[in-house]
Amino acid sequence: MAIKLKELSHKKDLLAPGHRCCAGCGSILSVKEVMMAVDGPVVVSFATGCLEVATTIFPYTAWRVPYIHCAFENSASVMSGVEAAYQSLKKQGKIDKEIKFIAFGGDGGTYDIGLQALSGAMERGHDMLYVCYDNEAYMNTGIQRSSSTPRAAATSTSPAGTVLPGKTQFRKDLTKIMAAHGIPYVAQATPDRWRDLISKVKKALEIKGPKFINILSSCFRGWRCAPEKSIEVTKLAVQTRFWPLYEVEYGKWKLNYKPKEYVPIEEWLKTQRRFQHVLKPENKPLLEEIQKNVDQRWEELLQLCGESSPEVTPGN
């Protein structure tokens, strides 16, 4: 699906400037790109979190579409109720226009306390798109670890020190969990590859039924990286294969991007001070463990996509 920059430049921003997100916030970039893909009427919901706090500070709002702020755990169930009401009104002849429905949630409200609501909405088959802006921790409430937080990342509840080397578990693969629901469309994206992201959202909105898109969205406060490096950091996550870009459409897995050079995960970890302890010589076994997990997940994805391991050359 061709996305033309000139056409996008003439579209009205559905999420207006003047919000209060941090400079370099990857989440707001992700959400703005999602909204760029919308044509026609849309209703959005979002769980309590950074997105809500920064865009709807009373008496102001950055949203130019109807929206619902709901509790931390129920963005999916609230939007499924809205969609069900819409379907009922259409059958009664009280609404005759097509309306799209998008639910947003961070990783805390999606991977963890909102997982039951999300799974239920997908299983019931509601015609809606759920978008997770994944910044890999509960950033809005103090940078606590979530099940999306990577292995060894230092957070306020999994600090790196003499007792713990940061988070002791590997991250949950929520995108695969959603694909296992057998829904029509599932995808992963990043804001740096905006054409890929917008194309995926457009495709999802054209498909009837439940859809899910997971977007890696950097947070300089939690990741401890420079705000101006937000896009570079997510780009490197793709290059190191930590965050592969792929989609699952009606059960068919497709890899959207295959790095030409092998870039070790160490290069991505270097960009973020939450991993600085991992790079110490005494933690080399931990670094090797993380690399092994990245390689293993990549090979599993290649098999699902019917791809073979490419001949890659070591990058710098």
Give the pairing of strands 246-249 and 252-255.
antiparallel
Q: What is the pLDDT of residues 58-112, one digit of tens each?
A: 899 999 999 999 999 999 999 999 999 999 999 999 999 999 999 999 999 999 9
DSSP strands (E only) in the chain: 42-47, 67-70, 100-106, 129-134, 185-189, 211-216, 246-249, 252-255, 261-262, 313-314
Indicate whether 260 belongs to any domain: yes
Q: Over 70: is that where the pLDDT of 312 sits?
A: no
Indicate whether 128 belongs to any domain: yes
Average pLDDT, the chain: 94
Domain count, the chain: 1
Q: DSSP secondary structure string, 141-156?
A: GT-B--TTSPTT---S
Q: Over 60: is that where the pLDDT of 314 sits?
A: no
- What predicted TM-score, i.e. pTM, was given to this entire model? 0.95
Indicate whether 100 belongs to any domain: yes
Indicate whether 178 belongs to any domain: yes
Q: Over 60: is that where the pLDDT of 313 sits?
A: no
Domain housing 58: 12-306
Q: What is the pLDDT of residue 315?
A: 52
Indicate whether 75 belongs to any domain: yes
Contacts of residue 107, Cβ cutoff 8 Å, sequence gap at least 6: 132, 133, 134, 135, 136, 137, 146, 147, 148, 174
Q: What is the pLDDT of residue 80?
A: 98
Indicate whether 225 belongs to any domain: yes
Indicate whether 53 belongs to any domain: yes
Indicate whether 5 belongs to any domain: no
> Model confidence at 118, in pLDDT bands (50, 70, 90)?
very high
The percentage of the chain sitting over the pLDDT mark of 70, rounded to a whole number, equals 97
Q: Rounded CA gap, 249 and 246, in Å?
A: 10
Q: What is the CA radius of gyration of the chain?
A: 19
| CATH code of 38's domain | 3.40.50.970
